[in-house]
Chain A
């Protein structure tokens, strides 16, 4: 396993050296001689440093300076810092804690204390990270779903408008962009990151009022009449009314934002818009921004009544007030971000809801500076999700598990733990006896192998596996998703997964496979699957001594002709039964087609006696009909361990046996090759083949 990296920042080489000596056995040590160097090292390695030991009094930049930089770059959230110092003044200590320091180690250093503090801090952070990731995953799913609903709804409107659905995507991207630009420039509107996300999501609903506008007006290619335009204009108020009618939800912040947007996205800054003729900042900033985004995208997109206008020209038209008056601040934001906006719109088509919801997640999960990392809200959410989770996992009979590499630990859902008779948390699961019983001897390495086949880009794996518990061994479908570190290169950090009992389905599948491999009438293997099995047998142990026999029924046609096809079928079944009873279960037997059969066996001693016995058991009376067969036999000793060669030689021997007068068996020998060739030549010449 890779050692965790620890950065030691101290201007005294001696002090660094003492600390390094105490820690270098378990960790890889990086050193910096002052604050500035520490920042440089952090810039390069912040992703794979696990912990910083930081002195306070140093030349160039002191410890507090380093903390300030870490705070500014957001490193302090993920990277624990332990302060080392003899400065024990409580003001200093308080200031350091305020700036995000996790712990203090004071001089003189005590080896045990230093090691223990380092380990504790690392464990604490690792645990916190896992919890955060869990919550993030859950929230992401919820947000993704509600975002998806909004998207579906707005696409319905777009569809009715005869547009591609790109418009709402564009408006949303533009809205997000403009709002973030506004946030950077002023706090006049008191926008938070949550607001921006809400407004962007809500912007997708800006035209829902159009659902009640007559399609003839909506999709009219030419210019609207005054009456038609008056109808068209009602869509703003209609949309707002629809949202207001959601009695239970109208106070939801998202619905509030959508309401403002629907109602006022056609207002203009100079009061000349509709429906209310609001002026200036009486128009909510959400509606102002969406109005501008709407106009921009309407200009640059093709419509039934116009061709698309290029980006530069569209911006110019808006600036000149040709599309009505806008907030000068927004116009500045548009002009300033024109390039990146165009870029985003171009790549927009590939964007999905996922990206957006990631933003939501980031904003809601990231703690405000100074907050405890796992806020009460987070913990409450987590509790709820855990409850939900265990409920569903018990409902669906899924055995859910989570594995982390460092420390090696397996966590099971409560239901899984109960069913498997394991603790919910198991350290060093690879060495656990009970787990070995459940997975089988090689089980752990099979799971590791499956996990290693995944990559950060394609982290999922699914395979069928037999688990043993409750005294039963049953097939399960295992679904894994591996987790990777955020470092470069990404390293395997663990996996989430579940096992679903699919034993019954699996059994059905196996019996179907059996059926597919078999001849329906006799239940023997068909030729393809017999060939497959023989090949496998030869590959597994090419040095074995094998024999292959091929035979067909003599004068079978006459049985069919004189006693009917049903009788013929019964004869074939009888031959199959006799064959089955005269060979061992490990031998391979097949009906290769019509009245032709094949057998394949491994032998040690007297092959001729074995073949003679089989031959004799096949022949003989059946309901007054004398079953008689002719067989050719090939040996791997002469043919080599190849299906094709053995088959060809057995076939030659069969041919030779028939020529010698049927109802007999014949072993292949070299002379037959030429006989066969000569015969074939004659046959061909006579046009008989």
Chain B
């Protein structure tokens, strides 16, 4: 699996990110780094405990990172969640969390496959 295929698998825009970061090496570095980002765990934990402020910031961070990496699909769902949390609409947020989780899992699993195949 190439990085380009990996991007296609997770509904992300490879051309966009290459245009901005201008280096395949950098893209690979940051995509792999995405696996270590703690924001998603923080988001889940704070949603569980009803800490909407923290959840907002975590979701906001995920959205920002996705935007930088060109992860269009996860970017969209985390954007919706961020807006719900900004409005402090707990009910709507809880509903949107499911989509974020699904997109996140899909993204992470594709990156893991890429990583394993690349022998990294």
Contacts and interface: CB of A to CB of B under 8 A. Distances in A.
Interface of A: 11-15, 17-18, 21, 57-59, 86, 107-112
A111 B21 contact: yes
Given A14-B33, A112-B22, 7 more contacts: A14-B37, A15-B68, A59-B57, A86-B64, A108-B20, A111-B21, A111-B22
Nearest to A62: B57
Contacts of A109: 20-21, 68
B57 A110 contact: no
Contacts of B64: 12, 15, 86, 107
A107 B68 contact: yes
9 cross-chain pairs, A with B, having the tightest CB-CB distances, nearest first = A110-B20, A107-B67, A108-B67, A12-B61, A108-B68, A14-B65, A57-B60, A111-B22, A107-B64
Contacts of B60: 57
Max count, chain A CB within 10 A of own CB: residue among B16, B20, B54, B70: B20
Given A14-B65, A15-B68, A86-B67, A21 B26 contact: yes
B94 to A, nearest CB: 21
A86 B63 contact: yes
B67 A12 contact: no
Interface of B: 16-17, 19-22, 26, 29-30, 33-34, 37, 39, 54, 56-57, 60-61, 63-65, 67-70
With most chain B CB atoms within 10 A of its CB, the pick from A11, A14, A86 is A14
A18 B68 contact: yes
Given A57-B57, A59-B57, A15 B65 contact: yes
Nearest to A11: B61
A12 B33 CA distance: 12
22 contacts: A11-B61, A12-B37, A12-B61, A13-B33, A14-B34, A14-B37, A17-B30, A18-B26, A18-B30, A18-B68, A21-B29, A57-B56, A57-B57, A57-B60, A57-B61, A59-B54, A59-B57, A86-B63, A86-B64, A107-B64, A108-B68, A108-B69
B118 to A, nearest CB: 20
Contacts of B63: 86
B21 to A, nearest CB: 6
A109 B69 CA distance: 9
Given A86-B67, A107-B67, A14 B30 contact: yes
A683 to B, nearest CB: 94
B30 A12 contact: no
A18 to B, nearest CB: 6
B67 A13 contact: no
Given A12-B64, A14-B33, A108 B70 contact: yes
Contacts of A13: 33, 37
Contacts of A18: 21, 26, 30, 68
- B19, B29, B33, B68: which has the most chain A beta carbons within 10 Å? B68
A123 B7 CA distance: 38
Contacts of A21: 26, 29
Contacts of A107: 64, 67-68
Contacts of A11: 57, 61
A109 B64 CA distance: 10
Q: Report which residue of A12, A109, A112 has the largest number of chain B beta carbons within 10 angstroms of its beta carbon.
A: A12
A108 B57 CA distance: 17
Nearest to B26: A21
Contacts of B26: 18, 21
> Which residue, of A12, A58, A108, has the highest number of chain B Cβ atoms within 10 A?
A108
A21 B57 CA distance: 24
B112 to A, nearest CB: 17
Nearest to B65: A14
Nearest to A109: B68
A109 B16 CA distance: 11
B25 to A, nearest CB: 10
Contacts of B67: 86, 107-108
A110 B70 CA distance: 11
A15 B37 CA distance: 11
A12 B20 contact: no
A21 B65 CA distance: 15
A15 B22 CA distance: 16
Contacts of B30: 14, 17-18
A246 B99 CA distance: 83
A189 to B, nearest CB: 46
A466 B34 CA distance: 64
Contacts of B65: 12, 14-15
Contacts of B68: 14-15, 18, 107-109
Contacts of B57: 11, 57-59
Nearest to B63: A86
B20 A111 contact: yes
A92 to B, nearest CB: 12
